[in-house]
Each structure stands twice: as C-alpha cells, then as structure tokens.
Structure 1
Amino acid sequence: MLFRGMAAVPVLASLLIMVTSSGFAAHNVRAAENVPIDQVFSTTDSLVTVSDAAADAKECLDGLCWKPQTFAVECRRPKRKLIDAIVRFPSAKPVGIPQNDTVNVEWYAATTPDGKICTAPAMIVVHESGSGMTVGRLVARGLRDRGMHAFMVQLPFYGSRRPRGIDVDDQNFGVVMEQAIADVRRARDAIAVLPGVDSDRIHLQGTSLGGFVAATTAGLDDAFHNVFILLAGGDLPKLVATGQRETAELKVLLEQQGFVGERMLALLNRFEPNRLAHRISEDRLWLFTASFDTTVPPIHADSLAKAAGLASDHHIRMPATHYSGVIFLPIVLDQIAEKSGGRTMVTQ
C-alpha cells in the first residue's frame, strides 16, 4: 500500500547498484566531527497566515495549515552508518500515536575536507513509498556528496516512526497525508536553526509518493527557495482511479476503508497538488518525468505543470519507466545541485 511500502522490485536493486557505482562519490563513513549531537534548539513555525483569492485554494489551505507554534528541535546520534545525525521535533499535526507524532529527519551533513560540517545550502528530501526509503536515502547521500546538507524526512509510520503492533493500513489515509505535508513544511523551520545550514537557501525535493507530498507542501506558502519534483504530478483522483502498481493497491485500500466513488474523490482532493500549484513560483519549480511511467503516467506531471504555469524548460523528460528512471539519478542530482548552490559530479 502507499503508506505501507511496496515489496522490492527486483530490477530496482540492480539499478541502484549501477547508479551507486557511477556518478556518486564515496563519502567518508565517519560522522562529521562538529554535528551538535544531544543539543536542543528552539524555533517557531514560519508558516504565514495563508490566504488566496481562489475560493478552492483557500478551502484547501484551511484544511492543511495549522496555528504556528514554538517547538523544540533536538539532534541525536544515529544508529545507521552514513547518517550524521537524527533531527527530531514534534509533528505539527499529531494523530495521537506518540512514536509516530515525533518526526525523525536523517541529516546527511555537508563537510569540509577534514570532516567538519560547513555552511552550505540545504535540501529537504521526501522519500518514495518503499518501506526502506531506499531512493530517498540515495538522493540525500548524493546531494550531500554534491556539497549540500540533505535532510530526509521520515514520513508518518516510516522508519523510527512506525510503532510495533499498529497497522498503518488501519489509519485514515487523509489524516496521515495531511500530517506528512505538515511535517515536511515544519522540517524547513527545524533545520533552519541548525549550525551550517544556509537558511536563505533551503530547497525541497520529493520522489514518487514524496513528490506528491512535496508538491502540495510547496503550495502552502513561499517557504522553499527551489522545488524539485521527481516521478510525480497532480490530479490524484484520476491517478488512483486509473493508475497501476502502488496506486492500484491504494485504491483497493481506500475502498476497504469505505472510500468509494465521490467519497474517495473528496478524500484525495483534500491534498490535491493542483489546487495550490499556482502558488509555487514557476521559475523555482522543476519537474522530472519518466516518459514510459505507468505508475504515475506523464499526463499527471503535465497536469501539475499546467496548473503551475510551468515553462517547458523546467519540465525534464527521461526515456524511462517509474523504476528504470533511477539510472538517470546522477544526472538529475547534478542538475538539482547546480540550481541549488551545490556542485556537479557527473563527467560531461
């Protein structure tokens, strides 16, 4: 299911090996020496009081936004190698499950040659639907190797946020999606107070499921400098009605939860990216689409591009499927880094 995470696709594992061995630097596995482990910072939501002349957009914003609050941000030592710290803060939209309602963000820190964190632009990374968050972590490490601080947000009920004995498929999908959007937006303010983060250059990237979350989050307000959407788009009701693989399974799950027909359409419309796409600055939004994608067909990226008024040179099309597109990831990350203040790595 979309929030449970799909079984591994065999071709994906082999493609990830190919990508990792071509176009990615081998990052030093030691943690950065001056990451603020066990330190606590205080910050406040910068979410502005949102409004929109379009009644439909205003209705969408009213359902997704929350009253800004002051909250604590703490850094903890990670259990996994290659991660420099775990950044934790309370969810802006808790669902009543304490373990899930503490957001965990994996920090892949930009460092100097001698292994100390340095001042650099930052990227919030929103992972795909796979339970291992493999592509999200690959993106984060790739951007870290390109001179950027990368922060991968573990979405609700993923990673350390998934409690034992609780089936995510029993949770209300709409509530969980709204929490995911709020968590990603709040992550921007959480990382802005961390040492080494250039708070004037905080960007947003999302892949597949994460791309839909990122696209809607970007429409809340003008919080992110640049936004990069990979293998995602808009028109969620049509996608769930006609899509294959993950989206087909999501449809079955929603029907089992009683969301059928107009009720399903109303649910998906609550966080539909196209309702807010006009609020994203078109010169700071880029889409990366797989031309032969059947999981998220290109028509959905085209739909988001149209809603955002996106110029054609901001919509990059790859001759790939939803899964084989990973072979283009080094080139995509080079383009993202170049536009975001990082450095490129792939030999031209």
Structure 2
Amino acid sequence: MLGPVRIAITFAMSLMTTLASAQEVGSQKTFPARDSLAALDDPSPDAADCLRGFAWQNAAFDVQLESDDATLRSVRFPSPLDTGNPINDRVTMKWYVAKDKDGNVLHRPAVLVAHESGSGMTVGRLVAKTLSLYGVHAFLIHLPHYGDRRDRSIKPENQDVVTTMRQAVVDVRRGRDAIAVLPDVDTSYIGLQGTSLGGFVAALAGSLDGGFDKVYITLAGGDFHSLLVNGTNEAAKMRQKLADAGYSGDKLKQLVQQVEPLRIAHRLTPEQTWMFTGSEDKVVPFANAMALAKAAKISAEHHVIVPANHYSAILYFPTIIDLIVRESLPADVIPAALKSDS
C-alpha cells in the first residue's frame, strides 16, 4: 500500500479543517465546452430501456471558473436535465486544487467526487481535500438540491426521486467534460469516486459510456428495491418518504427500477472499477453490494471489503485514498513521502 499511515494522518488533519467555509474572492473566467457522451446503445433491451432515461442531446455549454481562495475554486455549468428550477439546474463543483510544496498549481490528473446524502457533504469534501493534498485535482460536485443548488423555498422531501437521481447521473457525466476544459488538468486521466448516495450515482454514471478512466464505488450496491425494503437509517427514511407519497409494494419496485444500477452495471469496465464495502453495513446491506459486484464482474482484487458498518467504514478511508492516488498519478510523481511508507 502507498503509505496508509501517512495518509491516515493527513486524512485526520483534513477532517479537522474541512468544515471551514471559504469566502468568495477573485475573478471569474468562462471556458467553452461540449458534451462527449457516446450513443447509449446496448444489445440488452432492458439495459437500452434504462439508458434512455439518462440520454440527452449533446450540446455546447459554458463552464464558469471562480476563485474562492488559494486552494479552492468554484466551477459552474448548466445541467443537461432542465427541471425548471434555475437554482438547482446550475451545477456547482468545488475544485480542490493540487499544488506543490511551494504553492504552485500542478498539471495533474483529476477525480470527480460525488458526495454522500448528508447535507454538509462532509465525507465528499474530506475525500476531495485529501486527494488534492496528495497531488490529484479533486472536484466535489454538488448533487441536485445540495449545497449551492439548494433552493431554500422548496423542501427536499418534495423532490421527485427518479428525476433527482437521473439529474445527478447526467450532471456527473457532463461534469467530466467540464473538468476537461479547465487549465492545469491532465485530461489523460479523469476518474470518478462516489460514497453512499454518491456511490450509486457513480455506479450509474460510470455505466453510461465509459467516459471516466476509472471508477471507485464506495459503500453502495444494487437492487434498490430490496435495499429500501431491508435497509436501515437513510434507507428506512427514504422508504417512509416514498410510502407517504403512495409508493410501496410493486409500485415502489416499478419506480426505483427506472434508476436501478444492476440494469446497466455490465457496462462498467471491471479492470477499471473498484468497490469498497463494509461487511457489517446495514444501510447498504452486504448482499446489495455483492449484487452490484456480480453484475459488474468486479474481481476480488478490485473489491475491498472491510469489517465495518456504513459509518465506521470512515476509519478505512485512508486505504481508499491510497488506492485512488496510486491509480491516478503517474509513478514518477507520486509523493516521495508516500513511497517511503509503502
């Protein structure tokens, strides 16, 4: 491993500072971009039907870059899915900039990070910040109705679950093309990492057209219906919310089937995909994680299973960071300090 002890220390230090808010200063620049989404075809009629829900017409769009402070920038672009809410439909990514010891911005690969369901996006912010400290440009995308995209006049529980998930997936895929036009990004490698909610989004976005070089799915799985029926905590809350809206039994199954990762997981490239699973996870039960791993043909070498639940798994995140850094950076630019701990 690539210095897990040192990464654990850095990860802990990041945790202590990641809740601090940056003040927006500096200038704004605009970069032209265009979607690179490939045709979403599949020989399986069921997969093709699922993919149609995530398709959009490729178009040109503008990417706005704003400086928040020395190490954090805001990137904004329009969502491919127009829901009629201008606040939500303007996507924000926070760019955690990779710099050398002298403060110079590095020309390095990038990873798009999709956050968990917590409103503070704490784990996503922590992952992004730590990756940047090890020389990887990290972009934390604000998923629909989170962060800068939260319309305070609308209650989150009133959002259409399927539309929200679809928008999250297409925003992540367009996010890849937004990252590709930004300065200082080595476009030969743009990866995708997601945790919990973000892990489901990453599994779906990574299954579209192979747009991301590598995909890291953390604390997520497949078979939404059984997860909602059997899962606890966040899953139980979502189950109740959908029941209150009239979705239960077959009606619930038909609803979530529209965004079911297992329908298109075979489109993930097993050699370029990793999963991280907690064996004691009750939010995303182990069986659901294994269902996704089986559908995507993820090998044992690419499936890291730790003795933890959905929350204590945070103790093993240095291992995840370790892997992503090793897979993202060329060997000759991996920090010497990390090599010395390997």
Q: TM-score, normalised by structure 1?
A: 0.88
SS of the residue corresponding to residue 47 of structure 1 reads coil
**Deviations, residues 32-84 of structure 1 (Å, cap 9, x unaligned):** xxx99411001111001110000010000111111111000001233xx6851
| Partner residue in 2 for 1:64 | 54
CA distance in 1, matches of 2:125, 2:226: 29
**In the alignment, residue 239 of structure 2 is paired with which amino acid?**
K
CA distance in 1, matches of 2:27, 2:273: 34
1:142 equivalent among 123, 130, 134: 130
| Partner residue in 1 for 2:22 | none
**In the alignment, residue 76 of structure 1 is paired with which amino acid?**
E
CA distance in 2, matches of 1:84, 1:153: 13
**In the alignment, residue 248 of structure 1 is paired with which amino acid?**
A
Q: Describe the shift of the 1:267–1:82 C-alpha distance in structure 2 as closer, same or farther (beyond 3 A).
A: farther
Aligned partners of 2:99 and 2:133 also within 8 Å: no
**In the alignment, residue 247 of structure 1 is paired with which amino acid?**
A
Q: Describe the shift of the 1:41–1:20 C-alpha distance in structure 2 as closer, same or farther (beyond 3 A).
A: same
> Deviation at 1:24?
3.3
1:275 equivalent among 260, 263, 281: 263
Quick check: 1:86 aligned with 2:74? yes
CA distance in 2, matches of 1:211, 1:118: 28
**Deviations, residues 247-289 of structure 1 (Å, cap 9, x unaligned):** 0100111111222222211111111111111111110000000
**In the alignment, residue 142 of structure 2 is paired with which amino acid?**
Q
Quick check: 1:38 aligned with 2:25? no
Quick check: 1:300 aligned with 2:282? no
Quick check: 1:190 aligned with 2:178? yes
CA distance in 2, matches of 1:99, 1:43: 21
| Partner residue in 1 for 2:63 | 73
SS of the residue corresponding to residue 28 of structure 2 reads coil
Aligned partners of 2:144 and 2:168 also within 8 Å: yes
CA distance in 1, matches of 2:56, 2:43: 19
Q: Describe the shift of the 1:246–1:26 C-alpha distance in structure 2 as closer, same or farther (beyond 3 A).
A: closer
| Partner residue in 1 for 2:40 | 50
Quick check: 1:174 aligned with 2:159? no
**Deviations, residues 315-339 of structure 1 (Å, cap 9, x unaligned):** 1111111101111111220111111
**Deviations, residues 186-241 of structure 1 (Å, cap 9, x unaligned):** 10000100011111200000000100011011111010111001111111111011
User: % of aligned pairs identical?
Assistant: 43
Q: Describe the shift of the 1:58–1:250 C-alpha distance in structure 2 as closer, same or farther (beyond 3 A).
A: same
SS of the residue corresponding to residue 287 of structure 1 reads strand
Q: Describe the shift of the 1:59–1:279 C-alpha distance in structure 2 as closer, same or farther (beyond 3 A).
A: same
Count how many residue pairs are aligned between Structure 1 and Structure 2: 324
CA distance in 1, matches of 2:138, 2:223: 29
Structure 2 gap segments, 5+ residues each: 19-24
Counterparts of residues 1-348 of structure 1 (less than 5 Å):
22-24=9-11, 37-78=27-68, 84-341=72-329, 343=334, 345=338, 347-348=341-342
> Deviation at 1:165?
1.6
CA distance in 2, matches of 1:208, 1:25: 20
CA distance in 2, matches of 1:122, 1:308: 24
CA distance in 2, matches of 1:123, 1:219: 16
Aligned partners of 2:7 and 2:322 also within 8 Å: no
4+ aligned runs moved over 4 Å, structure 1: 18-21, 25-29
What is the aligned-residue RMSD (CA, Å)? 2.2
CA distance in 2, matches of 1:173, 1:212: 13
**In the alignment, residue 11 of structure 2 is paired with which amino acid?**
F
| Partner residue in 2 for 1:32 | none
CA distance in 1, matches of 2:303, 2:8: 27
Q: TM-score, normalised by structure 2?
A: 0.90
Q: Describe the shift of the 1:83–1:153 C-alpha distance in structure 2 as closer, same or farther (beyond 3 A).
A: farther
CA distance in 2, matches of 1:184, 1:248: 26
Aligned partners of 1:206 and 1:213 also within 8 Å: yes
Aligned partners of 1:287 and 1:314 also within 8 Å: yes
Tell me which moved more, 257-266 or 152-161.
257-266
> Deviation at 1:21?
7.2
Structure 1 gap segments, 5+ residues each: 1-17, 30-34
- Name whichever structure is richer in helix by fraction: 2
